[in-house]
Amino acid sequence: MKKLNDLTKHLLVKELTNTGDPVITSLEMDSREVEKGSLFFCIKGYTVDGHDFARQAEERGAAALVAERPVNVNIPVVLVKDVKKAMAVMSNVFYDFPTNSFQLVGITGTNGKTTTSHLVEAMFRRASKKTGLVGTMYTKIGDRETEAKNTTPESLVLQKLFMEMREKQVEACAMEVSSHALDLGRTHGCDFNTAVFTNLTKDHLDYHHTMEAYKQAKSLLFSQLGNTYDGNRKTAVLNADDSASKDFMRMTAAQVLTYGIETECDIRAKNVVITPTETTFTLTTPWEERLVTMSLIGKFSVYNALAAAAACLAEGVSIDVIVETLEETKGVAGRFESVDAGQDFAVIVDYAHTPDSLENVLETIQGITEGRVITVVGCGGDRDATKRPEMANIAIQYSNHSIFTSDNPRTEDPQKILGDMTTGLQEKGSYQVIVDRREAIRKAVKEAGDGDVVLIAGKGHETYQDVGDKVLDFDDREEARQAIQMLKEL
């Protein structure tokens, strides 16, 4: 049990009003979740200002508040300069620094975080460790999955989750660290042992505005690593083939392990061969060489495999366990996932929703097919609009036919998003626009012939379509299956 003063003594407090030292029973940043005894953090958000809910929090029984400006309540108010930072510190203290109790691997980068974190978790598991996972699809403690709202949760949610992991005797956790989370300080105070960088390409410019700012946010994972030595090895795992790594290498105090395919580095894949059913390569480390055959397809999958292998080597997992895991893995839902309903062409559902990921996936498909490539793709609403024409150009460049359609238009007009995709297309090629994603998938499946490949990109594992104020059930894999079925019944 903690009292307010136990938490505030770790802070630079500007002022304490309505002095008192109440017992704190929970931490909340949403007034609607406040219960008797909660400490409520007033956060100025992008939409509303949490300070405006101070009275509501008090009425619901909050024991105290943390705020950046005076608020009119009768309970203790801790005034600080930066509530988000105070929240990260206080959450860590409230739950007794949970990340000190297990190995924590943080993974950042534009693409490949979810895949790499699953590989790391699988390697830890195979090494007989009790595992945790934090990421886009869910958070996991052992086998128990919980739905995730954000890829990387707010600090108070995260530290609570880590506390539960410690209680469940988790020994090793793989965690996706988004650039938003780094920028907003959601991971402040997390004791990472290993930090992994996958790659940096265009995304999220709606939030970060420039690539430089986006890169700077990603760099925080490395600049905050290894500045103190607590007896545990600290390692930055960096992609030698991505130019951003040079900067991250300079700014980290941690030891560095590099991985790559093209450039001389510590953990390298040589002789990469990609076939429609498997990828093989020679995994070389400073200590030994192993031949790896895995069912993950594509050069980008080799990068994810190398990143995970390097992270786990840094964490003391044996090379045998690492190779066995890579050879056994079936991949992650919605990432290059095949839909097989007995049709004579291939259907691949993939979460590519950035220009780079779309290009990687289409390059991979081109490399393994003799047939035509038909791509169904859209771009999310209320998200980086600069990637829209780029993704459309890439689709056209690598496909025999492209169908542009909706992908979570959210509050935007779907037609406007599609207009952004098709206006100023530089690539000449066959394409059409079908706003309704179900219709688009049916059309693609109808167009496909023996030996062709239909790529349905952008939504991967998602089971919804976010349109206006509605979240409708929608699953690309299910839709593709139904479309194939309908075709068979014709």
Ligand X SMILES: Nc1ncnc2c1ncn2[C@@H]1O[C@H](COP(=O)(O)OP(=O)(O)OP(=O)(O)O)[C@@H](O)[C@H]1O
Ligand Y SMILES: CC(=O)N[C@H]1[C@@H](OP(=O)(O)OP(=O)(O)OC[C@H]2O[C@@H](n3ccc(=O)[nH]c3=O)[C@H](O)[C@@H]2O)O[C@H](CO)[C@@H](O)[C@@H]1O[C@H](C)C(=O)N[C@@H](C)C(=O)N[C@H](CCC(=O)O)C(=O)O
In the complex, the residues that contact ligand Y under the rule CB under 6 A are 29-32, 43, 45-48, 50, 53, 149-152, 154, 178, 180-181
Select the residue interacting with ligand API from 129, 335, 353, 387 (CB under 6 A): 353
Select the residue interacting with ligand X from 115, 139, 279, 329 (CB under 6 A): 115
Q: 428 touches which of ligand Y, Mg ion, ligand API, none (CB within 5 to 8 A by kind)? A: none
Q: 343 touches which of Mg ion, ligand API, ligand X, none (CB within 5 to 8 A by kind)? A: none
Quote the DSSP letter at residue 291: E
336-358 exposure pattern, b = at least 16 Cβ within 10 A, e = fewer = bbebeeebebbbbbbbbbbbbbb
User: How many Å apart are CA 457 and CA 205, to the nearest integer?
Assistant: 20
Our finding on whether 407 is near ligand X (CB under 6 A) is: no
**Quick one: which segment of 276-284, 353-361, 387-395, 424-432 binds ligand X (CB under 6 A)?**
353-361
Our finding on whether 139 is near ligand X (CB under 6 A) is: no
x/- track of binding to ligand API for residues 253-282 (CB under 6 A)? ------------------------------
Our finding on whether 335 is near ligand X (CB under 6 A) is: yes
Contact call for residues 298 and 281 (beta carbons, < 8 A): no
Our finding on whether 459 is near ligand API (CB under 6 A) is: yes
Our finding on whether 360 is near Mg ion (CB under 5 A) is: no
Q: 408 touches which of Mg ion, ligand X, ligand API, none (CB within 5 to 8 A by kind)? A: ligand API
Contact call for residues 189 and 155 (beta carbons, < 8 A): yes
Tokens describing residue 159: 């530290």
x/- track of binding to Mg ion for residues 125-144 (CB under 5 A)? -----------x--------
What is the Cα 185 distance to its own chain's centre? Answer: 16
Our finding on whether 218 is near ligand X (CB under 6 A) is: no
Closest C-alpha among 406, 331, 324, 326 to residue 361: 331
Our finding on whether 198 is near ligand X (CB under 6 A) is: yes
- Cβ 100 to Mg ion shortest distance, Å: 26
User: How many Å apart are CA 53 and CA 202, to the nearest integer?
Assistant: 36
Q: Is 202 annotated as a binding residue?
A: no
Q: Which amino acid is at 105?
A: V
Select the residue interacting with ligand X from 86, 87, 361, 418 (CB under 6 A): 361
Q: Is 375 annotated as a binding residue?
A: no
CA distances (Å), origin 417, targets 356, 378, 414, 425, 474: 19, 8, 5, 14, 19
> H or E segment at 437?
helix 437-447
Nearest residue to Mg ion by CB is 136
Q: Which amino acid is at 14?
A: K
Q: Is 462 annotated as a binding residue?
A: yes
* Pair type for strands 337-338 and 346-350: antiparallel
Q: 114 touches which of Mg ion, ligand API, ligand Y, none (CB within 5 to 8 A by kind)? A: Mg ion
User: HSE (CB half, 13 Å, CA atoms) of 52?
Assistant: 5
